[in-house]
Amino acid sequence: MKQFMAMLNTNENKDPPPTKLLDLAEKLCQDLQSSSSDLEKLVEAMMGCKHKMYFLTNIHIVRACVFVHIHNGQHDTACRLLESCKAEEKEELVKLWHEVHYQRVMKRHQVDFLTPLQKYRCRKRNPPPISLCPGGLKKRNFPEEVRQHLCKFAAEVTTNPNKKQREGLAQQMNLQPTQIYNWFANYRRRQKS
């Protein structure tokens, strides 16, 4: 930590900062995960310097900063940091985005964990920003052609296919048999109502 602080001070005016400094910050973030007070000092030093945006290109540093902010109850700050960071690992950033919101809900309701349904609702209410999902969120629906084929099968053959039929449909449409099973279960449920 002392070596990092000394290196940070000596390279304060260099733009961009040396790679060695960024690598040391990454290593420290990984090593100090269990020591929240030391990690907090490290994050404070990185976020207080003019090289802040260079540090926020590394996923390990971003993760450490987010967890420090969550620990301190600074959920909005963690969200702003995620929106502005330039790390390449977008899936990891989306997971961190959701984690920030899970922690916020747990704190508000004073619980230690969330059920899968509560997590789902939390994700729906707090979708990640475009900066984290440039291609948009993945849709969980099947493409129109797949749905049409399954509806046709349900109308012409059966709404409750056996295992062999489900496996055949799955193979034809490049899906898993469990996906076919769930689609037909949901289809039957929709038909009842």
Structure token digits, residue 47: 């976020």
- Determine the average pLDDT of the residues in 169-175: 90
Given a cut of 80, whether residue 13 has pLDDT beyond it is no
Question: For residue 135, what pLDDT is reported?
Answer: 63
Q: Name the packing angle between helices 59-71 and 19-31 (round to 10°).
A: 50
Q: Round the average pLDDT of the chain to a whole number and report it.
A: 87
* Separation of alpha carbons 169 and 153, rounded Å: 9
The average pLDDT across 110-136 equals: 86
Q: For residue range 18-35, what is the model confidence (pLDDT) as tens digits?
A: 888 888 888 888 888 777
Domains of the chain listed by start with CATH number: 1-132 (no CATH), 144-192 (1.10.10.60)
Write out pLDDT tens, residues 75-86: 999 999 898 888
